[in-house]
Chain A
């Protein structure tokens, strides 16, 4: 649920990066945090384990500037990807306005991507929200590994596995080099803002 403050003319939009363990969700936010210093007013908050795995969420507030006189504040979150953390994953999804599904393009992660997407579908249902209705963008991450000789799933396979029914916008990306991180972010922000505007009219 986005929150709209008519007094101060502020709209808060919640965007969640979702995907299997180690697919690169936190790395996306770290790249955004490093690259867009001017639009980030406060520190990134990371609740993580000693091994740098996300335990609860990462949080990064991102200032979009004004649209039609309203200050748009994008609240970026990641979920913990490890299988055992589904209860906390669900908590983070509460009131979500837009989702980036980060898939791990490594060949050996094929099954995990599919399982994670299915669970996202179920988790949204528990909030009476639908994966077919919510603004969603696919990101096929780690494509840089191809250059290092690591087997990568072709985009056509990922599209077939994950996006054949959803048919949402998708990007090949490398969160570690920043390739298409901004493109993914821009797309999910515009989809989410448009969807909020529609619901308001």
Chain B
């Protein structure tokens, strides 16, 4: 099995991207996890105190379940994974086969706007990863 090790420099670059591109736009909390449910990094706006470890375990399970269902009905994957609530929403996005980016945001951001920015962020993170 491959061991996930990220250097301090890479993590700092990733954290900066998440802050700049998502938290500053009003996203409440962003977490990058791997498919095993480990947390790679988490950033928030300082107001929310989510239990990120439990959240990561549940999110990885949720993503894996939906992915397995997609395969059962003959889809490669379901590209949009989004949970909508009254005051908060959760958006999942695959970075690569091992990593997921999860954004939690409130009513003042539209899904379309979030998705545009998430695509941009993922592109930038992949670049950092490829240099590894």
Contact = CB atoms under 8 A, between A and B. Distances in A.
Interface of A: 1-7, 12, 14, 41-43, 45, 47, 56-57, 59, 61, 73, 75, 77, 87-88, 91-92, 94-96, 127-129, 196, 199-200
Contacts of A127: 1
A3 B61 contact: no
Interface of B, helix, strand, loop or mixed by DSSP = mixed
A3 B38 contact: yes
Given A5-B41, A56-B61, 11 more contacts: A3-B40, A5-B6, A5-B11, A5-B40, A6-B5, A6-B11, A7-B6, A7-B8, A7-B11, A42-B51, A200-B3
Nearest to B2: A1
A52 to B, nearest CB: 19
Nearest to A14: B36
12 contacts: A1-B4, A1-B98, A3-B36, A4-B6, A7-B7, A42-B51, A43-B54, A59-B37, A59-B57, A73-B53, A94-B36, A196-B3
Contact of A12 (B1, B38, B54): B38
A196 B3 CA distance: 8
Question: Interface range on chain B: under 10, 10 to 19, 20 to 34, or 35 or more?
Answer: 20 to 34
A42 B53 contact: yes
B90 interface: no
B35 A45 contact: no
A12 B3 CA distance: 11
B16 interface: no
Contacts of B68: 87, 91
B76 interface: no
Given A3-B40, A95-B35, A45 B54 contact: yes
A61 B54 contact: yes
B39 interface: yes
Nearest to B36: A95
Nearest to B7: A6
B1 to A, nearest CB: 5
Interface in B74-89: none
